[in-house]
Amino acid sequence: MNSELLIKEDYSLRDYNTFNLDTTAKKFIELKDDDEIEYFIQSEFLKEGILILGGGSNLLLLNDFNGIVAHLSNKGIRVLNESVEDVIVECEAGEIWDDVVSFCVENKFYGIENLALIPGTIGAAPIQNIGAYGVEIKDVLVSVEGFDLISREKRVLTVAECELDYRSSIFKTTLKGRFLISKVKLRLSRKKKFHLNYRALNEKFGKRSVDQISIEDVSSYIKKIRTEKLPDYKILGNAGSFFKNPEVSPEQLAELKKEHHDIVSFATTAGTYKLAAGWLIEECGFKGKRIGNVSCYEKQALVIVNHGGATGKEIKEYSERIQGAVKNKFGINLTPEVNII
Ligand SMILES: Cc1cc2nc3c(=O)[nH]c(=O)nc-3n(C[C@H](O)[C@H](O)[C@H](O)COP(=O)(O)OP(=O)(O)OC[C@H]3O[C@@H](n4cnc5c(N)ncnc54)[C@H](O)[C@@H]3O)c2cc1C
The domain spanning residue 132 has which CATH number? 3.30.465.10
Tell me the β-bridge partners of 339.
Answer: 59
Q: Are residues 175 and 101 in the same domain?
A: yes
Please check whether residue 237 lies inside any domain of the structure: no
The amino acid at 234: K
Please check whether residue 100 lies inside any domain of the structure: yes
d(CA 328, CA 298): 22
How close is the Cα of 24 to the center of ligand 1, in Å?
Answer: 19
Name the catalytic one among 136, 143, 167, 265: 167
Please check whether residue 242 lies inside any domain of the structure: no
Please check whether residue 194 lies inside any domain of the structure: yes
- The pLDDT value recorded for residue 4 is 77
Please check whether residue 336 lies inside any domain of the structure: no
Q: Are residues 289 and 274 in the same domain?
A: yes
Q: Report the pocket of ligand 1 as residue ranges, CB < 6 Å.
A: 18, 51-59, 72, 93, 118-121, 123-125, 127-128, 130-132, 179-181, 230, 233, 238-240, 339
Cα torsion angle, 204, 208, 211, 212, sign: negative
Q: Is 190 a catalytic residue?
A: no
Helix (H, G, I), strand (E, B) or coil at 257: helix
The number of CA neighbours under 13 Å toward the Cβ of 100 is 35
Q: Are residues 104 and 168 in the same domain?
A: yes
How close is the Cα of 57 to the center of ligand 1, in Å?
Answer: 5
Stretch (H or E) spanning 324: helix 312-330
Please check whether residue 56 lies inside any domain of the structure: yes
Residue of 127, 154, 223 with the most ligand 1 atoms within 8 Å of its CB, for mutation: 127
Q: Are residues 173 and 301 in the same domain?
A: no
Please check whether residue 340 lies inside any domain of the structure: no
Q: Are residues 214 and 108 in the same domain?
A: yes
Q: Are residues 150 and 212 in the same domain?
A: yes
Q: Are residues 102 and 223 in the same domain?
A: yes
Q: Is 167 a catalytic residue?
A: yes
Domain boundary among 197, 229, 261: 229
Q: Are residues 88 and 168 in the same domain?
A: yes
Residue owning the nearest CA to atom 50 of ligand 1: 240
Q: Are residues 158 and 254 in the same domain?
A: no
Tally Cβ neighbours within 10 Å of residue 217: 15
Q: Give the CATH number for residue 302.
A: 3.90.78.10
Domain boundary among 72, 93, 116: 72
Q: Are residues 225 and 275 in the same domain?
A: no
* pLDDT tens over the chain, length 341 residues: 445 789 999 999 999 999 999 999 999 999 999 999 999 999 999 999 999 999 999 999 999 999 999 999 999 999 998 899 999 999 999 999 999 999 999 999 999 999 999 999 999 999 999 999 999 999 999 999 999 999 999 999 999 999 999 999 999 999 999 999 999 999 999 999 999 999 999 999 999 999 999 999 999 999 999 999 999 999 999 999 999 999 999 999 999 999 999 999 999 999 999 999 999 999 999 999 999 999 999 999 999 999 999 999 999 999 999 999 999 999 999 999 999 99
How close is the Cα of 96 to the center of ligand 1, in Å?
Answer: 11
Q: How many domains does the chain have?
A: 3
Please check whether residue 337 lies inside any domain of the structure: no
Domain boundary among 229, 255, 282: 229
Q: Are residues 180 and 309 in the same domain?
A: no
Helix (H, G, I), strand (E, B) or coil at 189: strand
- Domain span at residue 62 reads 8-72
Q: Is 152 a catalytic residue?
A: no
Answer for the pair 256, 248: CB distance below 8 angstroms, yes or no. Answer: yes
Q: Are residues 205 and 254 in the same domain?
A: no
